[in-house]
Amino acid sequence: MSAAIRVQGLVKEYRQVRALDGIDLEIRQGEFFGLLGPNGAGKTTLISILAGLTRATHGTAEVMGFDVVRDYRASRLALGVVPQELVYDPFFTARETLRLQSGYFGIHRNDDWIDYILHHLGLTEHADKNMRALSGGMKRRVLVAQALVHKPPVIVLDEPTAGVDVDLRQTLWTFIQSLNREGHTVVLTTHYLEEAETLCERIAMLKQGRLVALDSTRNLLSRRHEQQARLKLNRVPPVEIGLKPGPDETWLYGFETFSQLESMLASIRMAGLEIREMQLIEPDLEDVFTEIIRAS
């Protein structure tokens, strides 16, 4: 079985910038995959090359085994991209937009499927409004719908929830997850790391056009061994104990083994302090992300 996406030695140079600096990446069919990285890391550039919007300087990219340049028809039929920018054609209504998009893909009687996606994205009552009259969130939904008109096996969403209300995020993820369960491969870039953490099975991190991490979400999370204890005390603890001030008059303690935690608690008791509250904080993707990006 071919990979959903395979990228080899991908380099993209703009005049002064090396937006992609040799990327090798393989995403399996059926995966829910996260592509993370700070602004300017090259995420959008990578997606644009897959979609044929941009041409690579070196290297190759394939979607479902089809080269994006040589077999562009097959690769584009296999790919649905939700672009990062909120673009639309002000000449048309939402439904016209979807019918046209469907037609560009050579599918001329597609109203059942179009109605289905309109319904699942909560667009049915807005379907016959002009695109100009729709709110930003609604326009974003239409962009998602447009990417799905040809039932692509691979769906790529470039920051689909940036600046979008909670309601849409909920609707969107429910629908995208159901598509993923039906076998569609989903690739997601997002700034909301908790979103990636809950949705994605595997995650790649990009920085300055290079791949700096590629692992399952679980492995990435366990990569960071340090846990944190957050305490509320009756007064300021002596410096030797090693507590750092946290938010809301709390004190933070980082540890890797529980015996470290025990000795810290013993020191607190010896100093005659009283613990009023204590919480253990699991590391999240945010910490891992910050650590990897800083280290690389």
Partner 1 sequence: MLPISGFPTLLYKELLRFWKVSFQTVLAPVVTAMLYLLIFSHVLEEHVEAYPGVSYTAFLVPGLIMMSMLQNAFANSSSSLIQSKITGNIIFVLVAPLSYLEFFAAYMLASVIRGVVVGIGVGLVTVWFADLPLVHPVWLVFFTALSTGILAALGIIAGMWAEKFDQLAAFQNFLIMPLTFLSGVFYSIHSLPAFWQAASHWNPVFYMIDGFRWGFFGLSDIPPATSLLVVTVCFVAISGFTLLLLKRGYKLRH
Which residues sit at the interface with partner 1, rule CB under 8 A? 14, 48, 51-55, 72-74, 76-77, 79, 81, 83, 85, 87-91, 100-108, 146
CA separation for the pair 129, 112 (Å, rounded): 19
Residue with smaller CB distance to Mg ion, 40 or 254: 40
∠ Cα 171 102 162 (to 5°): 35
* 17 binding ligand ADP? (CB under 6 A): yes
Q: What's the distance, Cα to Cα, between the start and end of the chain in Å?
A: 33
With CA atoms as reference, report the closest residue to 172 among 191, 185, 153, 159. Answer: 159
Residue with smaller CB distance to ligand ADP, 19 or 229: 19
The stretch among 37-45, 88-96, 254-262, 272-280 that binds ligand ADP (CB under 6 A) is 37-45
> Which residues from 52-111 bind Mg ion, rule CB under 5 A?
84
CB 185 within 8 A of CB 30: yes
Residue with smaller CB distance to ligand ADP, 39 or 259: 39
The tokens of 225 are what? 């061994």
* 161 binding Mg ion? (CB under 5 A): no
Long-range contacts of 61-68 (CB under 8 A, 24+ apart): 61/5, 61/6, 61/7, 61/8, 61/10, 62/2, 62/3, 62/5, 62/6, 62/7, 63/4, 63/5, 63/154, 64/2, 64/3, 64/4, 64/29, 64/153, 64/154, 65/2, 65/3, 65/6
Residue with smaller CB distance to partner 1, 21 or 291: 21
* 51 binding ligand ADP? (CB under 6 A): no
Residue with smaller CB distance to partner 1, 106 or 247: 106
Helices within the chain (DSSP H only): 43-51, 72-77, 94-104, 111-120, 136-148, 166-181, 193-199, 217-223, 258-270, 285-295
Among 44, 102, 146, 161, binds Mg ion (CB under 5 A): 44
The stretch among 32-40, 161-169, 228-236, 268-276 that binds ligand ADP (CB under 6 A) is 32-40
The tokens of 115 are what? 């109605």
Q: Choose among partner 1, Mg ion, ligand ADP, none what residue 17 binds, the Cβ cut-off being 5 to 8 Å by kind.
A: ligand ADP
Residue with smaller CB distance to Mg ion, 62 or 159: 159
Q: Choose among ligand ADP, Mg ion, partner 1, none what residue 41 binds, the Cβ cut-off being 5 to 8 Å by kind.
A: ligand ADP
The strand ranges marked E within 28-94 are: 32-36, 58-63, 66-67, 79-82
The stretch among 5-13, 16-24, 41-49, 134-142 that binds Mg ion (CB under 5 A) is 41-49
CB 212 within 8 A of CB 252: no
CB of residue 35 to partner 1, shortest distance in Å: 18
CB 152 within 8 A of CB 80: yes
* 37 binding ligand ADP? (CB under 6 A): yes
Residue with smaller CB distance to partner 1, 105 or 173: 105
CB of residue 172 to Mg ion, shortest distance in Å: 18
Residue with smaller CB distance to partner 1, 73 or 244: 73
Q: Choose among partner 1, Mg ion, ligand ADP, none what residue 40 binds, the Cβ cut-off being 5 to 8 Å by kind.
A: ligand ADP
* 42 binding ligand ADP? (CB under 6 A): yes
